[in-house]
Chains A and B, each alone.
Chain A
Amino acid sequence: MTITRKFMPALLGAAVLAAPLALPASAHHSYSMFDMRRTVVLDATVVQFRWQNPHAFIRATVQAGGQTEEWSIEMTSPNNLTQEGWTRTSLRQGDRVQIYVHPLRSGARGGSYVGVRKADGTVLGTVE
């Protein structure tokens, strides 16, 4: 599955983590395509980290029951991420990471970035 074990039931329909974050209103587009009340955690491998407006993006693969899923994670703007401590080299291809996202409500393999925990324990954003 795409998610760490303890959060698996969440994707199966139960509520996951409460998301205390304020809605990032006034963005490049509406955030209503994401379920901002739910947070899921992906054990992922970075395929591409794109540092570009209007939104930085992480493409990542996730092992799910013997299959590889590809996820697309939308972030905020590079200038906002800079204020959180991100740089354009914070992630590199092949990095093993945990990515916390508000999932797409459509059920497609995408989400809105909440936080990242890198293999060395480095944390960016919100990961709890």
Chain B
Amino acid sequence: MRRLGLGRFAVLAALSLAAGGAAQAQMGPITSEPAQGLASPEQSAGFPKGRYHELDQLPDWGGIWFLNRRDPAAGPMPQPPLTGEYRERWERWRQQVLANDGVELRSRSNCSPPGLPRIMQLAQYPYEFLFTPGRVTINQEAWMQTRTIWTDGRGHPSLDEFTPSFHGHSIGHWEGQTLVVDTIGISDALEVGEGGKHSDQFRLVERIYLSPDDPDVLINDMVMTDPVAFSGPYAVSVSYRRDRHGVLIEFQCAENDRNPINENGETLYL
């Protein structure tokens, strides 16, 4: 009897693991390690309490912000100074677009976001900037994307430890009323400029500040560098106009995907 009872227990235990206990069994400690480069763990954005009053020193970026379309008189947007094989790849891309009646073939769904830097240059979907102790959060209506910019003094992880992503890893600091953001780790599958690609050494530095001429205009001076793919720095400046009482609207692309991509990379129209 006793042996039979133990046997039953073992079977039940095994079933319980298989049915969902497995994840729990492998779970590590609940608290992650503090980020590297912090003066102390208590300086982390994870400890906001008691520091909200510091936010009053920051500029007024309230409301939502729409990209100002480029002045046609300013000519076409400058393109990145691609070099070597990156330039050759871009040239092949351009020839393909020309051969396809001006329409770009896509390998990713239109429901997949563009990532940085393009997502900061979208005319149709506004942005909002949220300040909390130790971080700035940019909510983007486009694809309902969220950018996190750590301002708690942490550094970047090494690229060996970071999975390249749509927004990479951003750290920032305030120089007076200007937010300076440094971003690395942006996926090299994403575009820079029209049809360009960059290497995993790509870096984006943004200086974001209210226009001295108009407090309802926010300027973002972007400078991109890539020692592998670019022959020099690539500077793009964009600006946004404020809608003080506007709100972001939901963006659930899969619920209204009229432009799927077929197996040939063509954008369909439903």
Contact = CB atoms under 8 A, between A and B. Distances in A.
Given A29-B259, A30-B267, A79 B248 contact: yes
B251 A25 contact: no
B253 A32 contact: no
Contacts of A78: 249
Interface in B52-80: 66-67, 69-70, 72, 77
A80 B124 contact: yes
Contact of A54 (B246, B248, B256, B270): B256
By size class, the interface of chain B is 35 or more
B256 A55 contact: yes
A77 B127 CA distance: 13
The dominant DSSP class at the B interface is loop
Interface string B119-159: 00111111000000000000001100000000000000000
A79 B269 contact: no
Contact of A110 (B69, B77, B103, B269): B269
A22 interface: yes
Contacts of B231: none
Given A26-B124, A54-B111, 18 more contacts: A24-B123, A26-B118, A27-B124, A28-B124, A28-B259, A29-B110, A29-B259, A52-B250, A53-B250, A54-B142, A57-B256, A57-B258, A72-B269, A74-B269, A79-B125, A104-B269, A105-B101, A108-B269
12 contacts: A22-B72, A26-B67, A26-B122, A33-B267, A57-B256, A57-B258, A72-B258, A72-B270, A77-B141, A77-B249, A80-B124, A105-B101
